[in-house]
Structure 1
């Protein structure tokens, strides 16, 4: 039986926010903690692609960071996958951008959706695939990441996968890049 794993991406600069987006809080929990908690609801283990965060210390949570840092999301995913070396090719991998406003809703939507050949991705309100809000077949993702990963576009990796798609409400796929978006999502 296939197992499930999780990756939460959080190694970016948060330039438009002006400070670390994953440190934003809602109801006393950081956005990073909210994302990890959502992933741990379906995954045996979560790798946070970020410098270590003291609020996330758990035997079920590891950290990975691309070297050198700031190589983009694909490099962060590759670094996190290295930590999951023991995972089987047919296992599920839930992949979330760390700045999703409602990671618990993303995970619930993905968990209830059928997996395509290579995985499942949410579509935003305009019909665009949100590749960093997806559930993937681990082996397919490993294969797609072959070659150079630093500064590689997410679309170039995920666009070639055979993915099922699920239309999601704007409130499910919304992310927080700016202070105004954070306030609108109830984050401080």
Structure 2
């Protein structure tokens, strides 16, 4: 099951005082390094966010939504555009950079999508609700929904993720273990450090 990956790393991180999430360390490793580990089996990976000088693995792409801080839908759009400059894989792994346990979720997402060949994508679901930014999607379906939600100028800037994914036929993958727990505050960093990363 060949897939490409889009890592969304372009948020403002206002609850963290504006510190770039990608560089925050959890379990001795930056959040970006955790996300890159989750995409290690991807054919190609693109990081969507500012160039902060971090050296990316060979072959990893970097791009930015235009204008910046356009939100996750704009980030997904920019990531797909970067991947589609060459032949793109059928599947796209979409990961928010602030989910340090995402590598543990990838095999579950792949298995769920393999078991549901008619689905457009699979994503984690916690007791609190769906976690769309830890998901594996069919690229053609994702591209089609992006094109469907563009405003008259062609922009997807500021659109909520819900508006994009609700147009897709999705499989929810239960996340009782908290694999999609993210880092929004410094308290989250402390909690995840205490819980460990496995």
In the superposition, the TM-score normalised over structure 2's length comes to 0.85
Task: State the distance in 2 between where 1:175 and 1:131 align.
Answer: 12
Q: 1:155 maps to which residue?
A: 162
Q: Aligned equivalents of 1:93 and 1:76: distance in 2?
A: 13
Contact 2:46/2:82 (8 A) holds in 1: yes
Which moves more between the two structures, 21-30 or 154-163? 21-30
What's the C-alpha RMSD, in Å, of the aligned pairs? Answer: 1.8
Q: 2:20 matched to which residue of 1?
A: 20
- Displacement of 1:111 after TM fit? 2.6
Matching of residue 113 in structure 1 with residue 120 in structure 2: no
Question: C-alpha separation between the residues in 2 aligned to 1:52 and 1:154?
Answer: 24
Q: List, as ranges, runs of 4+ consecutive aligned residues in structure 1 with deviation greater than 6 Å.
A: none
Q: Is the 8 A contact 1:44 1:60 kept in 2?
A: no
1:57 is displaced (CA, Å) by 2.0
Match of 1:11, SS state, is coil
Deviations 1:66-112 (A, max 9, x none): 11101111111111111111344x71110011111312122232133
In the alignment, structure 1 residue 182 sits paired with structure 2 residue 189: yes
Moved more, 174-183 or 57-66: 57-66
Q: How many residues align?
A: 183
For the 8 Å contact 1:121–1:135, the answer to whether it is kept is yes
Secondary structure, aligned partner of 2:193: coil
TM-score when normalising by structure 1: 0.89
Distance in 1, Cα, partners of 2:104 & 2:27: 16
Structure 1 residue 141: deviation in Å? 0.4
Is there any run of 5+ residues in structure 1 with no aligned partner, and where? none
Unmatched 5+ stretches in structure 2 = none
Report the Cα distance in structure 1 between the residues aligned to 2:75 and 2:15, rounded to whole angstroms: 19
Counterpart mapping for 1:1-188 below 5 A: 3-18=2-17, 19-40=19-40, 42-85=41-84, 86-88=86-88, 91-115=90-114, 116=116, 117-126=119-128, 128-146=129-147, 147=150, 148-186=155-193
1:92 touches 1:138 (CA, 8 Å); kept in 2?
yes
